[in-house]
């Protein structure tokens, strides 16, 4: 997976050298190259922003240094890239969108600063606009980092075999079941018996029931989008019944 990032703060991307993304970079499953629009300025004070036409607070990113940076990234890309702008106005990113992105193999991310980017640059260069959630960041970099991290987890071979993207929360459309490790009893709270008995069929059944139940309790919006089969519906009924009994 190849990412070209257009950013005034390339140093922020060194965080990708940690953990799972660090290992993916080392194994060359992932490549992230940054382009700084400041390197593409023509004016003597190397400005990349200017005041908004029509007045108002803050500054706007000028189109020319950004366009030159995007063109340089396109030149370096191993194949035709998709250009993405990260913005609160984009469509909300999710696990499915990450799968679709992975298939595209080659992505240029534009991380905005100041009050945003000149609209003409967006119109000329951007293919897709994505948001990482309904909140405002000081710049698009943290959104870009999240997008790179989410997508890297889906690259075959990027996770250790002890850890599988298929078992992640949300990869099936459901939330993850509760997890426990040693000790068996902590502050008087015991690990559920089913997990201690070693019956793997029962454990799988319990985990699926918990996943369905938790999604029903915490994220019913996810559940209504799914088509549950009769086995899953029966497990969810069982969870709801047990839940009602405990009151
Ligand atoms: C584009 C336009 C992404 C990008 C404006 C980016 C949230 C997300 C940015 C802005 C982002 C997200 C610049 C507007 C900073 C607000 C104070 C960068 N914020 N910003 N201004 N949800 N910010 O994905």
> Tens-of-pLDDT digits for all 247 residues of the chain?
999 999 999 999 999 999 999 999 999 999 999 999 999 999 999 999 999 999 999 999 999 999 999 999 999 999 999 999 999 999 999 999 999 999 999 999 999 999 999 999 999 999 999 999 999 999 999 999 999 999 999 999 999 876 678 888 888 899 999 999 999 999 999 999 999 999 999 999 999 999 999 999 999 999 998 999 999 999 999 999 999 887 7
Same domain, 140 and 95: yes
CA dist 52 → 5, 117, 141 (Å): 25, 10, 22
pTM above 0.95, yes or no: yes
Same domain, 20 and 72: yes
Give the domain extent around 182.
169-246
Say how many Å lie between the CA of residue 111 and the centre of ligand 1.
Answer: 8
Query: Which CATH number goes with the domain that contains 127?
Result: 3.40.1280.10
What is the atom index within ligand 1 of the atom nearest the CA of 131? 24
**Options 17, 50, 100, 115, the catalytic residue:** 115
* Rounded-to-5 percentages of helix, strand, coil across the chain: 45, 15, 40
Number of compact structural domains in the chain: 2
The residue whose CA has the least distance to atom 2 of ligand 1 is 116
Same domain, 148 and 230: no
**Options 36, 105, 168, 238, the catalytic residue:** 168
**Residues with Cβ < 8 Å from 12, sequence gap 6 or more?**
141, 142, 145
The residue whose CA has the least distance to atom 21 of ligand 1 is 115
Is residue 231 in some structural domain?
yes
User: Distance between CA atoms of 80 and 106, rounded to whole angstroms?
Assistant: 7
What is the atom index within ligand 1 of the atom nearest the CA of 133? 22
């Amino acid at each position: 997976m190849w990412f070209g990032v257009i950013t005034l703060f390339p140093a922020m991307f060194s965080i990708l050298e940690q953990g799972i993304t660090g290992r993916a970079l080392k194994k060359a499953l992932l490549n992230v190259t940054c382009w700084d629009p400041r390197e593409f300025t023509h004016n003597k004070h190397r400005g990349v922003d200017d005041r908004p036409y029509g007045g108002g607070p803050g500054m706007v990113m000028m189109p020319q240094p950004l366009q030159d940076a995007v063109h340089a990234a396109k030149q370096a890309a191993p194949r035709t890239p998709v250009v993405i702008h990260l913005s609160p106005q984009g469509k909300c990113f999710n696990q499915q969108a990450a799968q679709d992105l992975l298939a595209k193999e080659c992505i240029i991310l534009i991380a905005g600063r100041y009050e945003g980017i000149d609209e003409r640059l967006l119109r000329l260069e951007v293919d897709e606009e994505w948001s990482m959630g309904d909140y405002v960041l000081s710049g698009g970099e943290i959104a870009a980092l999240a997008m790179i991290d989410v997508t890297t987890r889906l690259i075959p071979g990027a996770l250790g075999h002890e850890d599988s993207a298929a078992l992640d929360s949300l990869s099936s459309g459901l939330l993850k079941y509760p997890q426990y490790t040693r000790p068996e009893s902590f502050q008087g709270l015991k690990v559920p018996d089913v997990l201690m008995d070693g019956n793997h069929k029962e454990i799988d059944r319990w985990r699926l029931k918990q996943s369905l139940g938790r999604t029903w309790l915490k994220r019913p919006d996810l559940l209504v989008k799914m088509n549950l089969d009769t086995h899953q519906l029966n497990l969810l009924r069982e969870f709801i019944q047990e839940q009602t009994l405990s009151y």
